C-alpha cells in the first residue's frame, strides 16, 4: 500500500508536507530512492546547491543537502504519523524519489509502515546510513548530518505538541521519548530559548554559503565561533 492518501490533509503549519510527497503525476518520472543515494548523485546535488547558493564551503553545501533531504523525509513522517496515524517506511528498498533541477531530492513516495515503532526504527537506521554516505562524500562528520536530522525531528515534535493535547497524547509522548533517546545516543543536545525557538549545539554551516550568510530562518545558533563540523 502506498503511504499517502490524497484525502489526508494536515493542519497548519504542516501544509508543506504534502509538497514533499510525490503525486501520481510526479511518481511516473521517479526512480528507486537507492539509485539517488550514490556518491556520484550526492556530489551532483552538492554541486547544484553551490551553484545556487554559493560560492562557499563545500561542507556547508553538504549540510544543506542533508537538511533538504531530511526535511522532505522526516517532517512528513512525524506529521502524518502522529496526527493521522499514517506511518511511512523510510526504506530505500521500497521508496521512490524524484530530483529537483539542482539534482537534490525533490520528494518521495514511501510504502506504509505497519506501526510507529517499526517506522521510527527504519527512520533512525536511514538517518545513520545517509549521514555515513554524505560525510564520506563531503569529508564532514556524520554527527553534523545526524544533527540536521535531529533538529528537524525535534522542531516537528514541538509543532505537533499543541495538537497532541487534543488527540493521542500517549502516542506523542512515546514518539517524543524515542526521538530523545536517539538524540542522546548520537550525543545531540537541543533546547528552547526564552522565545521558544529550538537551539542545538552543532552548527549546520549554512552561513558559509554566500547566498545564505545570515541563516535567517534555518540556523538555530547564529554561526558561533568554533562550530563543530
Look at residue 226 in the predicted model and tell me its pLDDT. Answer: 39
**What confidence tens digit (pLDDT) does each residue in 180-204 have?**
998 999 988 888 777 777 888 888 8
Look at residue 227 in the predicted model and tell me its pLDDT. Answer: 42
Q: Which residue has the higher pLDDT, 176 or 222?
A: 176
Write down all domains in the chain, each with its CATH number in brackets: 15-188 (1.10.510)
Give the Cβ contact number of residue 15 at 10 Å.
Answer: 11
Tell me what percent of the residues of the chain surpass a pLDDT of 70. 87
**What confidence tens digit (pLDDT) does each residue in 31-49 have?**
888 888 899 999 999 999 9
**What confidence tens digit (pLDDT) does each residue in 200-216 have?**
888 888 888 888 765 55
Q: Which residue has the higher pLDDT, 4 or 62?
A: 62
Look at residue 228 in the predicted model and tell me its pLDDT. Answer: 42
Q: Which residue has the higher pLDDT, 176 or 225?
A: 176
* SS3 category, 2: strand
Does residue 223 register a pLDDT over 60? Answer: no
d(CA 206, CA 42): 17
Q: Within the chain, where are the H helices?
A: 39-53, 58-84, 116-138, 142-164, 169-185
Would you state the cell numbers that stand for residue 110, as one nine-digit string? 514511501
Phi, psi of 106 (to 5 degrees): -95, -35
In the structure, what pLDDT confidence band is assigned to residue 224 with cuts at 50, 70 and 90? very low
d(CA 161, CA 173): 9
Does residue 99 register a pLDDT over 80? Answer: yes
d(CA 151, CA 84): 22
Phi, psi of 114 (to 5 degrees): -70, -15
Look at residue 7 in the predicted model and tell me its pLDDT. Answer: 58
According to DSSP, the residues that pair with 32 across neighbouring strands are 96
Amino acid at each position: 500500500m502506498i503511504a499517502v492518501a490524497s484525502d489526508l490533509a494536515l493542519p497548519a503549519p504542516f501544509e508543506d508536507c504534502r509538497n514533499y510527497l510525490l503525486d501520481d503525476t510526479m511518481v511516473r518520472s521517479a526512480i528507486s530512492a537507492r539509485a539517488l543515494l550514490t556518491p556520484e548523485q550526492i556530489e551532483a546535488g552538492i554541486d547544484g546547491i553551490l551553484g545556487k547558493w554559493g560560492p562557499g564551503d563545500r561542507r556547508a553545501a553538504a549540510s544543506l543537502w542533508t537538511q533538504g533531504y531530511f526535511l522532505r523525509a522526516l517532517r512528513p513522517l512525524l506529521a502524518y504519523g502522529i496526527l493521522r496515524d499514517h506511518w511511512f517506511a523510510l526504506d530505500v528498498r521500497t521508496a521512490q524519489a524524484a530530483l529537483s533541477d539542482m539534482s537534490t531530492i525533490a520528494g518521495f513516495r514511501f510504502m506504509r509502515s505497519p506501526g510507529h515503532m517499526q517506522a521510527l526504527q527504519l527512520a533512525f537506521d536511514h538517518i545513520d546510513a545517509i549521514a555515513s554516505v554524505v560525510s564520506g562524500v563531503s569529508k564532514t562528520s556524520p554527527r553534523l548530518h545526524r544533527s540536521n536530522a535531529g533538529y528537524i525531528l525535534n522542531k516537528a515534535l514541538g509543532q505537533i505538541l499543541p495538537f497532541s493535547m487534543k488527540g493521542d497524547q500517549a502516542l506523542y509522548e512515546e514518539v517524543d521519548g524515542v526521538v530523545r533517546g536517539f538524540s542522546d545516543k548520537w550525543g545531540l543536545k537541543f533546547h528552547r530559548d526564552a522565545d521558544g525557538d529550538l537551539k542545538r549545539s552543532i552548527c549546520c554551516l549554512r552561513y558559509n554559503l554566500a547566498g545564505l550568510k545570515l541563516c535567517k530562518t534555518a540556523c538555530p545558533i547564529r554561526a558561533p565561533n568554533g562550530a563543530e563540523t
